[in-house]
Chains A and B, each alone.
Chain A
Amino acid sequence: MTDSAVLSADDVAEGRNRRSRRRLLNLVIDGVLLVFSLLMLLPLVFLVSNAFKTPAELLSWPPTIIPANPTVSNFSAVIADTPLLVWIGNSLLFAILSAIAILITSAIAGYILAKFRYRTLTVVFMIILATAIVPFEVYMIPLYLEAQSLKILNTTWGLLLGYLVMSFGIFLIRQNVAHSIPDELLEAARIDGAGELWIFWRIVLPLLRGALGALFVLAFFQAWTAFAWPIIVATKRESYTIEVGLALFQTGFTVDLGRLSAASALVLIPSFTVFVLLRRNFVQGVASTGLKE
């Protein structure tokens, strides 16, 4: 007891030494991570800063990080030159409708596949899981032909056709229902005379709020950042999504960097906002994609 309570001067010195070495190590690690994080952000910082630069400053060498004479003329010019706001509107509508559709289809299918155990449904679930492996790019051309025969090319419905269901969403909700909603709860409600629809609406959905929130954000971003599908479905200037509009706008010869950056910076605003507001949901949703067995 006394041995351990009374420390020799050497022990104290060594302890202090180790502690200070540890603190130094922590400082170094923080430093490394900080530099790396800033490097990761640097391209976006340049993008936003270029949006506020005057044409003269954009051409100056070496490039500056903070604009000397910030101007918003790039923003007004790009909004006047291109239907940028229409494109953003198209994308927003597409992303929100797609997220809602995915939420509905995933909630229904996920719940039924988790709580109604029939052999047919097990097979159905296996098929859904198997298709989750197939990348969108593999079947988008037949899907395009489908949209063409439905005469919904260049419309929001055409865009939506590819983004109505999400195999992973069905899987996510099924796992959530299976783990977080006990059979007894549903049975108790049934004994009390509750109808199936009432149970789904009043018991199941409220309990799935967290998972549905994560799925909504995931689905929203999936549609918001979609590229290959919108570029083949929306081929008229006024039906472009923002990604397609920007990508084609930047191939033009006469476009200047300031306007391009301004347009890009505008597009980043919704992503940033949703991400900052719903960071928890988003991280949870993305992390759960890694948990599929």
Chain B
Amino acid sequence: MLRKKRWFFAILTLLPVLAIFAAVRLYPIGETLRLSLHKWDILSRNKPFIGLANFQELMGDRLFQEALLNTTIIAFGVLLITIPLALVLAALIHYRVGSRLGPFFETAIFLPHVVSLVPAAMAWKYIFDARLGPLNAFLSLFGVPAQSWLFDPRLALFCVIVLCSWQALGYAVLIYLVGFKSLPVSLYEAAKLDGASGPQSFWFLSVPMLKPITLYVSVVTLVSGFNVYAQAFVLASDAQGAPGRQVRVLVLDMLENSFRNYRVGYAASEAVVLLLIVLLFTAIQFSLLRERGRA
């Protein structure tokens, strides 16, 4: 009797939440998968099933290829900048844990992660500005000629990477700091007695022991890198002011296909590609973690 009542309570309270969850998560995810296999244009009445034709078309789509390449470069660029830098910074902050400036370091490095995307992008747009920007002013001190950072496609790509790294860094440092706090102090003392220097115990103790955290932060960074949109939207407008055209990214291409070209099915197939990329990274993370567990 009592157990029945409890079961009843559990279902009754959980059901509304699950209903919402199904409506705003499960159903749209399922729909993305379904639409990707259909010729689903807003304008045409017939929305026939076409199998993998959308994906076939994607393979030859120049704009999609450009977007995929840019997005991949951004994601891995951010990864390559963020992870080593965050690891070193976290080690230094952890080493100076008693320092009176400690909270300031943490706040200053973490703040960019909290700041809204668009104002942050705006701030950097000024830094990179060819005519007025502080970056060119700084470089001119060394005799480097002014660069048009945001209008050269390659440099613009670099700018997006810098902006995204600036934002991602704080999160990575924070997670690494949690990791450093969990490392056994006795191990470091033993290493010190054996004559290991600071950099040595960082390289031979901390780095290997923090590997699971590195793996986790890398996957998070890569996944958010592949979802980059606002940063490119603001930073990489082309000469006519069309947002995000200078550095075409996956999400932009997807939204253009569905809202400018009204090809929702085709856009959904791009979303599925994005999903597959994310799943691939997650699978790699889990398999590497499991390997470690066995070793």
Contact = CB atoms under 8 A, between A and B. Distances in A.
Contact of B255 (A34, A232, A243): A232
Given A138-B275, A139-B271, A247-B233, A268 B115 contact: yes
A143 B27 CA distance: 8
B230 A243 contact: yes
A290 interface: yes
Contact of A287 (B137, B175, B243): B175
B221 to A, nearest CB: 12
A196 B134 CA distance: 62
B10 A121 contact: yes
Given A37-B109, A128-B21, A251-B241, A47 B123 contact: yes
Interface size class of A (residues with CB under 8 A): 35 or more
Nearest to A253: B241
B186 interface: no
A267 interface: yes
Interface in B54-97: 89, 92-93, 95-96
A33 B177 CA distance: 15
B114 interface: yes
B139 to A, nearest CB: 11
B126 A47 contact: yes
A137 B227 contact: yes
Given A46-B127, A47-B126, A247-B243, A142 B28 contact: yes
A102 B5 CA distance: 27
A265 B123 CA distance: 10
Contacts of B5: 196
A135 B118 CA distance: 20
B149 interface: no
Contacts of B23: 146
A196 B9 contact: yes
Interface string B208-224: 00000100110000010
B206 interface: no
Interface string B119-137: 1101111110000111001
A167 interface: yes
A134 interface: yes
Nearest to B179: A290
Contacts of A37: 104-105, 108-109
Nearest to A113: B14
B32 interface: yes
Interface in A237-293: 242-243, 246-248, 250-253, 257, 260-261, 264-265, 267-268, 271, 275, 279, 282-283, 286-287, 290-291
A142 B26 contact: no
Interface in A162-188: 162, 164-165, 167
A205 interface: no
A286 B83 CA distance: 17
Given A108-B14, A143-B28, A275 B123 contact: no
B72 to A, nearest CB: 15
A36 B223 contact: no
Interface string B7-48: 101100110011011011111110110010000000000000
Contacts of B230: 227-228, 243, 247
B126 A134 contact: no
Contacts of A227: 117-118, 229-230, 233
Most buried by B among A47, A136, A167: A47
B116 A224 contact: yes
Interface in B199-247: 213, 216-217, 223, 226-227, 229-230, 233-234, 237, 241-243
A206 interface: no
Nearest to B282: A133
Nearest to B198: A25
Interface in A57-92: 58-59, 61-63
Most buried by A among B119, B133, B175: B119
A108 B163 CA distance: 38
Given A37-B108, A140-B28, 8 more contacts: A38-B108, A124-B18, A142-B31, A200-B13, A228-B255, A265-B119, A287-B174, A290-B178
Interface of B: 2, 5-7, 9-10, 13-14, 17-18, 20-21, 23-29, 31-32, 35, 89, 92-93, 95-96, 99, 101, 104-120, 122-127, 132-134, 137, 140, 166, 169, 171, 174-175, 178, 213, 216-217, 223, 226-227, 229-230, 233-234, 237, 241-243, 251, 254-255, 258-259, 264, 267-268, 271-272, 274-275, 278-279, 282
7 A-B pairs with the lowest CB-CB distances in the bound complex, closest first:
A142-B31, A37-B108, A264-B119, A139-B28, A227-B230, A43-B123, A142-B28
27 contacts: A30-B101, A37-B109, A40-B109, A41-B108, A42-B127, A42-B134, A44-B111, A113-B14, A134-B25, A134-B278, A135-B274, A137-B254, A139-B31, A141-B32, A141-B267, A146-B27, A161-B24, A196-B6, A200-B13, A246-B119, A247-B118, A257-B132, A283-B106, A283-B174, A286-B171, A287-B175, A290-B217
Interface of A: 26, 29-30, 32-34, 36-38, 40-44, 46-47, 50, 58-59, 61-63, 105, 108-109, 112-113, 116, 118, 121, 124, 127-128, 131, 133-143, 145-146, 161-162, 164-165, 167, 190, 196-197, 200, 221, 224-225, 227-228, 232, 242-243, 246-248, 250-253, 257, 260-261, 264-265, 267-268, 271, 275, 279, 282-283, 286-287, 290-291
